[in-house]
Amino acid sequence: MMEKYILTIDEGTTSARAILFNHEGMPVSIAQNEFNQYYPHPGWIEQDPKEIWATTTEVINKCKKAVNVSDDDILAVGITNQRETSIIWDKETGLPVYNAIVWGDNRQEIVDGYNALREEGYEEILKDKTGLVCDPEFSALKVKWILDHVEGTRERAKKGELYFGNIDCWILWNLTRGKAHKTDYSNASRTALFNIKTLDWDQELLDKFDIPRIMMPEVCDSCTHFGDVRVGTTFQKPLPIMSMIGDQMAATFGQACFDEGECKMTFGTAGVFDSIIGEEPKKSESGLLTSIAWGLNGKITYLFEGVVFNSGSTIQYLRDELRFVEATPDSEFFAKKSKAPRGNVYFLPMFSGIGAPYWDAYAKGTLFGLTRGIEKNDIIKAALDSLGYQTRDMVDAVIKDTGKKIKVLNIDGGAAKNNMIAQFNADILGIDVDRPSNVETTAAGAAFMAGLGVGFWNGFEDIKKARKSEKIFKPEMPEKEKEKLYAGWKNCINALKVWGKGTQEIRKEFGD
């Protein structure tokens, strides 16, 4: 009997990937192509939806061809995606009315729009309904911006001519050639338009942002039959699309974090911490978000989440802008050459503002502690350490919210391969850090979810067996040193918040 596979389409922030998983939960073939990022103005980040789709078809074909796998060998398709990135397109032609506005986009009108909501006291209403805060990351004001700025779109939307969706919807619509306009609970919960209690698009919020309900996709369980791929250049038979799930929720699922208190940290472009809180939504008082982890078998699982906007991208910054390293893996080599003790210099990579648990869209990246004795390798080490400090911010927040300690942190993402980063996380947190043998947990999570839908895996126990530890990093730093270093980080954060507030006041007085 020929081996069977699950195909995951993984739509990241900077690239599209296709990955084939076997029954052991291991990738047997990976194809990845980057797509372009566009920066029309300072703070703006856009992508071409047509290019994303073209790139997706390329990697699917490459992935299958690399290991000579035919569609007969694939049981199901799963989709995981960068969340919050927003697209509006013509439901008949499939042509986008504007570029995709990326989750990290920080254009001033959107920033000001959320600040206006906060000033009028609407943030508590938003948080109560959606679990989110007033921050440019989320989809609502991106959709409103397109409807406000692209002539004729709001009228066309009201007539039912246009669809809105995040990247998952866009890929599904194209895979099914316009037959399915759907999303799942995890992605819907990141739009700031979906009520996580009633499990429906919230009419008050749609009215608040002036977004026609008719544009919105149908919301489904994360594991369900979303439709079949249409026969064409990419597929030669109609395979079932059995899962759609946001990337961070997929990584949580791929890490086999199913029970309350189990958590993971993904060091991708952004850094995202997720901790399962159970089948009832809870409100964070410590700056975390409440989102839907997934819908499965008619049950909803919720999580607390903290997002920092620059994690792995911090190392890319060292490589591409500062030219401190030629390749990302070199960062560990040079950081080990640093002679300055930790705590002498702090690197705060807030290139797009501060995310959880502080939420300050005006903050900017900063170096603290520069003297003539600080050199390149010290800055590289401080940049790597920033990933651990940001993780500590969120772990402390979830402990404060739940009153329960965390015993183990599961890590994944590209930067998790860096041993120095993994060890410093264990040290600054004072807990074990577990790195799996397969760090492709986002794609694996979507594959596991799709596989459950076709009986490829039979339940959580099968997935737990498939998720294997590669190395567990144990804390080695003395308690006093750990707390001293973290106190220094908090001092830097407080200074940066003052700077951000001052910037906002200057803008109000003198304008842009």
CB distance 193 to 185 below 8 Å: no
Per-residue pLDDT, 87: 97
Q: Is the pLDDT of residue 1 over 50?
A: no
**Block residue for tokens 């890929």:** 171
Per-residue pLDDT, 106: 85
Average pLDDT of the residues of the chain: 92
% of the chain residues with pLDDT over 90: 76
CB distance 143 to 164 below 8 Å: yes
Beta bridge partners of 246: 81
Per-residue pLDDT, 270: 83
Per-residue pLDDT, 512: 60
Alpha carbons 351 and 138: distance in angstroms, whole number: 17
Q: Is the pLDDT of residue 439 over 90?
A: no
Domain boundaries, the chain: 312-392+478-510
Alpha carbons 438 and 470: distance in angstroms, whole number: 8
Looking from the CA of 415 toward its CB, the CA atoms found within 13 Å total 28
355 vs 30 pLDDT, higher one: 30
Q: Is the pLDDT of residue 241 over 70?
A: yes
**Block residue for tokens 């920092």:** 308
Report residue 93's pLDDT band, with 50, 70 and 90 as the boundaries.
very high
Architecture in CATH of 312-392+478-510: 2-Layer Sandwich (3.30)
**List of residues 6+ apart from 325 with CB closer than 8 A:** 315, 318, 319, 331, 334, 380
Alpha carbons 326 and 316: distance in angstroms, whole number: 10
Looking from the CA of 459 toward its CB, the CA atoms found within 13 Å total 1
Strands 263-267 and 240-246: unpaired
Element holding 324 (H helix, E strand): none
- For the question of whether the overall pTM of this predicted structure is more than 0.85, the answer is yes
- Label each residue of 237-262 as H, E or C: CCCEEEEEEEHHHHHHHHCCCCCCCC
Alpha carbons 245 and 221: distance in angstroms, whole number: 9
Q: Is the pLDDT of residue 11 over 90?
A: yes
CA 86, 92, 96 angle in degrees (round to 5)?
A: 30
**Block residue for tokens 């796998």:** 69
Phi-psi region of 178 (alpha: psi -120 to 50; beta: other; left: phi over 0): left
Alpha carbons 67 and 65: distance in angstroms, whole number: 5
Mean pLDDT of 377-402: 95
Residue 485's alpha-carbon distances to 163, 324, 478, in angstroms, are 49, 24, 11
Element holding 92 (H helix, E strand): none
Alpha carbons 107 and 66: distance in angstroms, whole number: 41
Q: What is the pLDDT of residues 312-341, one digit of tens each?
A: 889 989 998 989 998 888 999 999 999 999
Mean pLDDT of 11-26: 92
Alpha carbons 194 and 201: distance in angstroms, whole number: 4
Helix (H/G/I), strand (E/B), else coil: 89: strand
Report residue 394's pLDDT band, with 50, 70 and 90 as the boundaries.
very high
Q: What is the pLDDT of residues 100-159, one digit of tens each?
A: 999 988 888 998 898 899 899 999 999 999 999 888 889 999 999 999 999 999 999 999
